[in-house]
Copies of this chain bind each other. A is one copy, B any other.
Amino acid sequence: MIKLLTVFCHRKNFRDKMLHKIINLTVRDVRFPTSLDQHGSDAMHTDPDYSAAYVVLDTDSGLTGFGLTFTLGKGTEIVVCAVEALARLVVGKCLQEIVSDFRGFYRLLTSDSQMRWLGPEKGVIHLATAAVLNAVWDLWARTEGKPLWKLLVDMEPKQLVSCIDFRYITDVLTEEEALGQIKDQMQKEGYPAYTTSCAWLGYPDEQLKQLCTDALKSGWTRFKVKVGADLEDDVRRCRIIRQMIGPDNTLMIDANQRWDVAEAISWVSKLAEFRPLWIEEPTSPDDILGHAAISKALAPLGIGVATGEQCQNRVMFKQFLQASALQFVQIDSCRLGSVNENLAVLLMAHKFNVPVCPHAGGVGLCELVQHLILFDYICVSADLRNRMCEYVDHLHEHFTCPVVIQDAHYMPPKDPGYSCEMLESTVQRHQYPEGNVWKNMKK
């Protein structure tokens, strides 16, 4: 089947629009100077400029696919360079050829015999893979005229599972087992969200209070605070926010990998009086056994451990689950290998009965991950207990189909695709270093 399609694609005079041959890939370095206002600041990332390696796939049918991966400013050009290196594996292929063996295509990108040395499946090369595959999924959803979550929900379970590379996870989840986990039912309602916008580390107390007041008025009931730089500050800030939101609303805290294992346990214990639901990223994202020790120590205090936004791939998530090292799985739409790898993680989390609460924020992450969490709810978990999706209220105005939040819920997107198309005017203004936003910056 694949070979046949390839032959068709290569026939110069063959122009069946429905094959959607990818004839061009462009990638641009797009940066937003968010560090100027301390948006996104935390204990380890003190001055992030939310940025993206932004990919556009052109096809011979005239349809276009948009994808991105999220970065923090400096170094985005390295991811751009990596996307350019992957382009030769994408351009010239037909969409139908890709999706009819999506597992094979995924492995083509992640296991190139020379390039895999640079990862494998981690860091820059995996971020680049995510950007490319996000664009492919966007293109696929557009050709079907559906938002991505609907494309997933409508898909035969067998086809869905055929998108996953089970290499290295079969000791926990096999293809047959995965098939049995996908439900065929359909439901539609908003998905609960929590907000991180109120309490970035760099915000002064007055701003924090004002933002809490505003958020409560808009219906928010779940709040996250950045901690980890200074214990006294953390106590003060947690006290303020707990007072502002009252005893019944939910509070989470996030240290962004600031501590070693023993330090995490002792620091978080001192914040237990504010009853956080979870401590997020207490230590290195690579330290499975460290997270397990922290989970064990904090369980008697009723505090769970959440991590995942810098968890590099499905093999790491597998072990976090095996070792009971987390109580909340935070998938990321741009660090893992796109929908394909996130499907594997959603199914493993379900098997271990651990709720998924995605990482979002940055630029475009809310737009992307809403599709994954809707799919998870409808077809995998069918459960909202202890489940919610992060929300950050920055930079949505730059997308052609921004997220819709109503009463602290993500409303299901309706437009075809994966919701990560940016306004062309935004891309041009924010392209680094030649866009006007950066050219005019006095730095």
Contact = CB atoms under 8 A, between A and B. Distances in A.
Interface string A249-264: 0000000010011110
A280 B45 CA distance: 37
Interface residues of A, number: 63
A118 interface: yes
B123 A284 contact: no
A218 interface: no
A168 B287 contact: yes
A115 interface: yes
Contact of A168 (B77, B126, B290): B290
Interface stretch (A106-114, A299-307, A423-431): A106-114
Contacts of A316: 286
Given A44-B113, A45-B116, A125-B78, A288 B285 contact: no
Query: Chain A: interface secondary structure?
Result: loop
A113 B170 contact: no
Contact of A124 (B125, B288, B313): B125
A114 B168 contact: no
A319 interface: yes
User: Chain B CB within 10 Å — which of A79, A124, A257, A312 has the most?
Assistant: A124
Q: Which 9 A-B pairs have the closest CB atoms?
A: A123-B123, A124-B124, A74-B114, A168-B284, A171-B261, A73-B114, A75-B115, A81-B81, A72-B117
Given A168-B286, A171-B261, A287-B319, 14 more contacts: A47-B113, A48-B117, A72-B115, A75-B112, A75-B117, A78-B124, A79-B118, A120-B310, A122-B286, A168-B283, A170-B260, A171-B260, A171-B293, A288-B289
